[in-house]
Structure 1
Amino acid sequence: MSRGFTIIELLVVMAVLAVLASLVAPRYMEKVQTAKEVALRHNLQGLRTGIDQFYRDQSRYPENLAELVAKRYIRSIPADPVTESATTWVPVPPKEGGNGVFDIKSGAPGRARDGSSYGTW
């Protein structure tokens, strides 16, 4: 008598695993998107804090994000977690004119889970 699994038993196990994977995968992808959005909000808050501290110390806005790094207000320019790039940030100049970075926005296309555009954060 030989021991082992029949092809039917293997197919049943594979079908059960496929059903379980199809139930778990959408929830996993939802959690990944939520984590990216939380990280984006955190990165924006850190960059805005660095810009504000620079303005308080220097009485002017930084020319670009690299100046924040050079003057050690931030360690490095963080990557936008949605675009996975540190070059997609959109600097907002001061409203009263002049040069510099008054605020920072995400350059990520699309909308967040709450329906808002990433560019409005």
Structure 2
Amino acid sequence: MKIIISNVSDQPLYLQIKEQIKAAILRGELQAGEPLPSIRALATDLNVSVLTTRRVFEELEAEGFIITKAGKGSFVAPDNLELLLESKRLMVEAKLIEAWEIARNLGISREELYSMMDLIFEEDDQ
């Protein structure tokens, strides 16, 4: 698992790390039951605070993406298909909201945006 963080990003470091781990799980790069690096090892590898990586792991566990076993470490949670599907939908929904806000700010109507999407779909089908 390769994580790239940027000090010039608007996103906090913990969120950059968390989103990249979550994306790796959603893409299947990290499989159910696969061990994650320890909090300390990940902090050392990324040159960030242990508190930062601890927060990442706590949030990923709260969201159901990983499980932590005392004395054994953290692992990718067993497949929860509905959770994964909902997370993917939320990611797409966020991007669609962002696209709509940009279009609206540029004076592009709903109909124009729909037409753009239709063209994208047609090109993808070819």
TM category, shorter: under 0.3
Q: TM-score, normalised by structure 2?
A: 0.26
Based on CA coordinates, which of the two structures has the bigger radius of gyration? 1
Q: TM-score, normalised by structure 1?
A: 0.27
Higher helix share: 2
